[in-house]
């Protein structure tokens, strides 16, 4: 039996006020059903409906301007947002900051896996992931503004061990994008850069008694899709929306090398470890690599480590992953982070997060915005706005080793890179090593309890986490330990004869940090 084909406008008209909506999508336009989102936005602006929605999204999606979560960022359109990553929509961040919506932020993997638990009829997601962080009820329970009052998470004890239970909820509507469907309604993401959590999203809505809408480029005759190509079977899909002009990503068109259907000799331009402090950081952080290790990289300074591996032609020495479900390949960076050219494997994001939650990562290289005396790291709450953790908590809570990468300070810092060391021309106006972080996205206390190895790499100093707090273990040549490090921190770390950072990581040049 075939599925009805609807217009995006008809879907927008069918969504009731007050509905709880779960959507797929990730940065750069991956699996983003923008035709449906745009129709919902137009209808709201014209009629005031649908309004008072609860919007749930595991990964951040949008273009910082109009698409993605920006489509929903009109006062009255959403009542509550539960998001893994918020940075792609400043208007939505403003609604949260001004208490115009009930704002929650949970780890991306937790949201994705919670959809599976909802669909399976289980009592929520029970995990240690998030203990000690801002999603722990002891530290706010994922509520990121005063308007958020409902408790979505609770602490429970099983066999003497403390866990978090992320509570289930009814999903009224699921909205997703796939490459194509067959007439029966089965979906394939064969030509997309990732599968993300599309199956879990459909499962959660269908088994909640909700409705599943899928935007596709085309509908093929029944039987055209080979069974192994089906990402979501027809039984979970209620209606199809055909959008012949839909794009694979914000790059436009469809690229087989991003979908894993072809190899390419054209790989992304490297920008994170080209020079300056970021290159010093990447080179020093690369010393934490171990041959044969399974790795995860964030973007920015930490992505520079992947570029160092590429420069050395050493990709075969490691197994690289990112949370969108990608294994191997050359990662795209910036706003297109989350996809890769020439991937070795493309799994769905939920399977990737299961792998992470179970301790599959040997090491993770990620950024840091604030660090405090206990080794806590904040990357989720910045300048009065919620950024969200994305996959940061899922990854850092469970990796065997975590290497945080970032400049020592920021905003106006100017560093002269010399052969063998540095000269600090101007310190940044904003300190990163603070007495107390604005929010705990990584818990140093929990890391010590788990026995994790944790390293903090900057261009002028390296720190390690100990049971007694943060210890300064290395300094760059040319740095005055009192004036350039300790005086620029809000706390005094453990200092016990730190050694010099390797001179080979410093090559003469002058750049702004």
- Which residues are tagged catalytic? 323
Write down the residue that tokens 């203990």 correspond to: 131
Scan for tokens 């429970």, then name that residue.
156
Tokens 């539960």 -> residue: 82
Dihedral (CA of 377, 379, 384, 385) sign: negative
8-state DSSP, 482: I
CB 24 within 8 A of CB 176: yes
Residue 308 parent element (H or E): helix 303-311
The answer to whether the beta carbons of residues 407 and 277 sit under 8 Å apart is yes
The CA distance from 479 to 45, in Å, is 57
Alpha carbon distance 106, 339 (integer Å): 22
E-only strand ranges, 306-413: 319-322, 326-327, 330-331, 340-341, 345-346, 363-367, 370-371, 377-378, 381-382, 385-386, 401-405, 409-410
Q: How many CB atoms lie within 10 A of CB 233?
A: 14
* Contact (Cβ atoms closer than 8 angstroms) between residue 165 and residue 122: no
Residues β-bridged to residue 54: 20, 80
DSSP state of 248: S
**Would you say 488 and 427 are in contact if contact means Cβ atoms under 8 Å apart?**
yes
Residue 91, classed as helix, strand or coil, is helix
């Amino acid at each position: 039996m075939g599925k009805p084909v609807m217009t995006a406008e008809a879907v927008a008209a069918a969504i009731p006020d007050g509905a709880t909506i779960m959507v797929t999508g990730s940065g750069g336009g991956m699996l983003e059903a923008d035709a449906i989102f745009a129709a919902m936005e137009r209808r709201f602006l014209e009629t005031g409906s649908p309004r008072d929605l609860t919007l749930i999204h595991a990964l951040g999606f949008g273009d910082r301007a109009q698409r993605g979560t920006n489509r929903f960022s009109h006062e009255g359109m959403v009542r509550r947002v539960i998001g893994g990553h918020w940075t792609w929509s400043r208007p939505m961040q403003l609604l949260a900051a001004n208490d115009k919506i009930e704002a929650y932020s949970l780890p991306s993997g937790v949201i994705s896996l919670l959809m599976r638990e909802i669909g399976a009829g289980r009592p929520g997601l029970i995990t240690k992931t998030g203990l000690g962080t801002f999603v722990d009820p002891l530290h706010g329970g994922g509520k990121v503004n005063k308007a958020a009052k409902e408790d979505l998470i609770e602490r429970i004890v099983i066999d003497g061990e403390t866990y978090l239970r992320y509570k289930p909820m009814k999903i009224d509507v699921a909205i997703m994008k796939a490459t194509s469907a067959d007439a029966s309604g089965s979906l394939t993401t064969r030509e997309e850069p990732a599968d993300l959590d599309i199956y879990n999203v459909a499962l959660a809505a269908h088994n909640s008694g909700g409705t599943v809408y899928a935007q596709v480029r085309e509908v093929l005759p029944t039987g055209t899709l080979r069974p192994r190509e089906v990402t979501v079977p027809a039984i979970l899909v209620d209606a199809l929306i055909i959008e012949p002009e839909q794009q694979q990503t914000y790059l436009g068109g469809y690229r087989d090398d991003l979908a894993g259907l072809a190899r390419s000799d054209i790989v992304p331009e490297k920008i994170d470890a080209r020079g300056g402090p970021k290159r010093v950081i990447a080179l020093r952080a690369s010393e934490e690599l171990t041959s044969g290790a399974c790795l995860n990289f964030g973007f920015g300074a930490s992505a520079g480590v992947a570029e160092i591996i590429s420069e050395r032609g050493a990709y075969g020495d490691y197994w690289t992953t990112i949370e969108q479900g990608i294994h191997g390949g050359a990662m795209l960076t910036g706003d297109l982070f989350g996809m890769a050219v020439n991937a070795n494997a493309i799994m769905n994001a939920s399977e990737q997060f299961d792998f992470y939650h179970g301790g599959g990562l040997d090491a993770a290289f990620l950024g840091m915005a604030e660090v405090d005396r206990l080794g806590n790291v904040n990357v989720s709450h910045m300048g009065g706005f919620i950024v969200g953790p994305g996959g940061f908590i899922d990854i850092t809570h469970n990796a065997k080793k975590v290497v945080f990468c970032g400049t020592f300070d920021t905003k106006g810092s100017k560093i002269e890179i010399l052969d063998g060391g540095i000269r600090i021309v101007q310190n940044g106006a904003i300190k990163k090593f603070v007495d107390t972080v604005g929010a705990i996205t990584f818990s140093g206390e929990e890391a010590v309890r788990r026995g994790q190895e944790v390293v903090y790499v900057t261009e002028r100093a390296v720190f390690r986490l100990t049971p007694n707090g943060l210890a300064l273990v290395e300094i760059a040549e040319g740095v005055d330990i009192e004036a350039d490090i300790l005086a620029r921190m809000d706390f005094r770390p453990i200092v016990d004869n730190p050694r010099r950072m390797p001179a080979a990581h410093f090559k003469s040049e002058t750049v702004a940090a």
